[in-house]
Amino acid sequence: MFDPTVFDNLKVAFENQLYDLDNLDKEITIVSRHDRLDLASMSREFRLGFTLQANANVTAEICLEASLRDLADEIMEEPEESPGCTLRLFFYMTVEDPDTECPLIESILTQIWTPPSRPEQTLQYTYDKQQKQYQNTTEVRFDRKVNENQMEDIPNLIDHILDSLEALTTE
């Protein structure tokens, strides 16, 4: 019989919560889903992107990752290791004035998440196009691995993501 890993259990928990918010509550719209197994590094990655149904200007994405070391520690039941996954959050939006908008984005996300490290923003644009907009990708990182012990925190985490989407769309 297949014994699901921490990664599998967390992935299903996130999917259940988010698809309920999409299909049942009509609060969000799922816009992307990626479930990857990298055979070269034997790592796993799951990404689920969504927007608020009322305003699709900002997209949030949950990224759950498990490395070969994470999976091996769990399967081998290493007593001194605590199996878990890496959780990262991304927010994608368009900005026109980075000098004004990026500090505001950082302030909003720092107030909601209060992570140990500040959100990291990356700006991207297409060269030689007459556009005055930049694609902003903001990453929120967490300083520890997550596992099934945090399963009951998932609804609260998703509420924080929804609060972030709401605050970023009204900025």
pLDDT in tens, 129-145: 767 889 999 999 988 89
- Select the CATH number that applies to the domain covering 6-169 from these four: 3.30.1460, 1.25.40, 3.30.750, 3.90.550: 3.30.1460
- Higher-confidence position of 75 and 35: 35
Transcribe the chain into DSSP letters.
-----HHHHHHHHHHHHHHHHHHTS-SEEEEEEEEEEETTTTEEEEEEEEEETTEEEEEEEEEEEE-HHHHHHHHTT-TT----BEEEEEEEEEES-HHHHHHHHHHHHHHHH--SSPPEEEEE--TTS----EEEEEEEE-SS-B-GGGGGGHHHHHHHHHHHHHHHHH-
144 phi-psi bin (left φ>0, alpha ψ -120 to 50, beta other): beta
Query: Whole-model pTM?
Result: 0.93
Whether the predicted pLDDT of 82 surpasses 90: no
For 108, other C-beta atoms within 10 Å of its C-beta total 20
pLDDT of residue 51: 98
Do residues 140 and 119 lie in contact, with contact meaning Cβ atoms separated by under 8 Å?
yes
Whether the predicted pLDDT of 171 surpasses 70: no
Query: Which pLDDT tens digit goes with each residue over 38-59?
Result: 999 999 999 999 999 999 999 9
Whether the predicted pLDDT of 120 surpasses 80: yes
51 half-sphere exposure, CB direction, 13 A CA radius: 12
pLDDT of residue 129: 74
105 phi-psi bin (left φ>0, alpha ψ -120 to 50, beta other): alpha
Whether the predicted pLDDT of 1 surpasses 60: no
Residue spans per domain, the chain:
6-169
